[in-house]
């Protein structure tokens, strides 16, 4: 939401965050309306009179119909990225692990309990010859529930779900849209990663204690109840990293993922420091002797500033791209030896910046300028 906070004095934003009001509502700072307040997309457009529509994703029947009908009225539709995106292969690996069908059923049951019919809403929205798109939306929805949204987008590339403009953080971040929505370069504008740009700033007040920093992910325990790596394997991994730090006479700092903040199984050792809420991760990264990590967004600033060792658990497009751009060491999570560690300084930091953080063509006011066009 930080992107919208920075622009709220220049634009008036109205959000449709969900079908019904629910918590948490991350858009509560802005005017919020809900699908259940309207009877059709036409009513949404008539009442709100938008100059443009910004989507975070176009996957649901409601968003697909809105995209299509807004374009018919000459209203520009924009896809705005909201995080680091990779490629189709990467998401397909993860998609197989996600419980899309159970989550879709849960959403449908909530709609039914409260008396909202998505099909009825779409029938009221798509009129006359436009009714032909109901079949395509129904097919896309069914395939999405069975196989996942990325598989559906890749194999059923509907023109009616393609936005006019894609605001992407960087060339690497735009890969998934090229592969699934099959858009051209003319439809892409680069805006830089608001989450990562601040990490380009050098820090002066560094931590003087000697430590290595591991940037963790919730692989053994998360809100979906899924387990990529067992708790026992993660414990063994942490202790191996700590063993290395002990040989170097340093502490091991582990920046936990928020979903691990309350985990009770983390191994306890006086040399391991677990970090949860932080005001300035950039300071921590720049203070470390070196970093460890997997494939989370935060390994990008780690590699930009410090020699870093990554661990491969499964295919990662981000790791593959990092391997192309520099000499960062990537080891097999399941079978690595401490003697293998080679903390190498990245060969070309500017390439890391351009490919992942802030492309050369981005100016400070570019997002504001684009939305004003």
Q: pLDDT tens digit string along 130-172?
A: 999 999 999 999 999 888 889 999 999 999 999 999 999 999 9
Structure tokens at 241: 């990293």
- In whole angstroms, what separates CA 218 from the centre of its chain? 15
* Claim to verify: residue 38 and residue 89 sit in the same structural domain: yes
| pLDDT at site 370 | 84
Q: What is the mean pLDDT of residues 297-307?
A: 95
pLDDT band of 27, cuts 50, 70, 90: confident
Average pLDDT, the chain: 90
| pLDDT at site 101 | 46
Q: What is the mean pLDDT of residues 55-73?
A: 96
Q: pLDDT tens digit string along 194-219?
A: 889 999 999 999 999 999 999 999 99
Q: pLDDT tens digit string along 83-135?
A: 788 888 888 877 766 554 445 555 555 555 467 999 999 999 999 999 999 99
Predicted model pTM: 0.82
* Claim to verify: residue 306 and residue 166 sit in the same structural domain: no
| pLDDT at site 364 | 53
* Claim to verify: residue 111 and residue 144 sit in the same structural domain: yes
* Claim to verify: residue 204 and residue 330 sit in the same structural domain: yes
State the alpha helices, DSSP H only, in the chain: 2-7, 41-48, 61-72, 88-95, 100-114, 118-125, 133-147, 149-155, 175-180, 194-197, 231-248, 281-287, 299-305, 317-325, 349-352, 366-372
Q: What is the mean pLDDT of residues 313-317?
A: 91
* Closest to 358 measured CA to CA, from 304, 320, 318: 304
Q: Say if residue 178's pLDDT is above 80.
A: yes
* Claim to verify: residue 164 and residue 256 sit in the same structural domain: no
Full domain range(s) for residue 51: 2-193+364-372
What percent of the residues of the chain are helix, what percent strand, and what percent coil, each to the nearest 5?
45, 10, 40
* Claim to verify: residue 187 and residue 233 sit in the same structural domain: no
* Claim to verify: residue 184 and residue 331 sit in the same structural domain: no
User: How many domains does the chain contain in total?
Assistant: 2
């Amino acid at each position: 939401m930080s992107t919208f906070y920075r622009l709220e004095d220049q634009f008036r934003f109205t959000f449709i965050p969900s079908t019904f009001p629910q918590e948490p509502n991350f858009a509560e700072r802005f005017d919020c309306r809900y699908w259940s307040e309207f009877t059709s997309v036409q009513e949404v457009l008539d009442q709100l009179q938008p100059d443009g529509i910004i989507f975070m994703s176009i996957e649901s029947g409601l968003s697909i119909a809105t995209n299509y009908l807004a374009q018919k009225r000459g209203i520009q539709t924009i896809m705005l990225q909201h995080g680091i995106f990779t490629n189709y292969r990467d998401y397909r690996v993860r998609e197989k692990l996600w419980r899309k069908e159970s989550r879709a059923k849960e959403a449908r049951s909530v709609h039914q309990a409260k008396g909202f019919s998505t099909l009825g809403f779409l029938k009221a929205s798509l009129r006359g010859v436009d009714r032909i798109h109901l079949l395509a939306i129904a097919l896309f929805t069914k395939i999405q529930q069975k196989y996942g949204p990325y598989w559906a987008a890749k194999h059923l590339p509907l023109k009616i779900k393609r936005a006019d403009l894609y605001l992407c953080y960087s060339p690497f971040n735009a890969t998934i849209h090229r592969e699934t929505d099959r858009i051209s370069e003319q439809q892409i504008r680069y805006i830089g990663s608001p989450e990562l740009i601040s990490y380009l700033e050098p820090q002066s007040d560094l931590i003087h204690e000697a430590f290595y920093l591991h940037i963790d992910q919730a692989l053994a325990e998360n809100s979906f109840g899924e387990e990529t790596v067992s708790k026992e394997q993660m414990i063994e991994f942490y202790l191996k990293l700590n063993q290395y730090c002990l040989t170097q006479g340093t502490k091991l700092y582990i920046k936990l993922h928020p979903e691990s903040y309350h985990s009770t199984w983390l191994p306890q050792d006086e040399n391991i420091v677990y970090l949860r809420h932080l005001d300035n991760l950039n300071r921590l990264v720049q203070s470390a002797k070196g970093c460890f990590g997997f494939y989370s967004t935060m390994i990008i600033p780690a590699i930009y500033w410090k020699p870093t060792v990554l661990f491969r658990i499964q295919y990662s497009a981000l790791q593959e791209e990092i391997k192309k751009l520099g000499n960062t060491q990537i080891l097999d999570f399941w079978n690595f030896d401490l003697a293998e560690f080679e903390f190498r300084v990245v060969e070309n930091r500017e390439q890391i910046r351009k490919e992942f953080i802030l492309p050369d063509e981005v100016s400070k006011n570019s997002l504001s300028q684009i939305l004003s066009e």
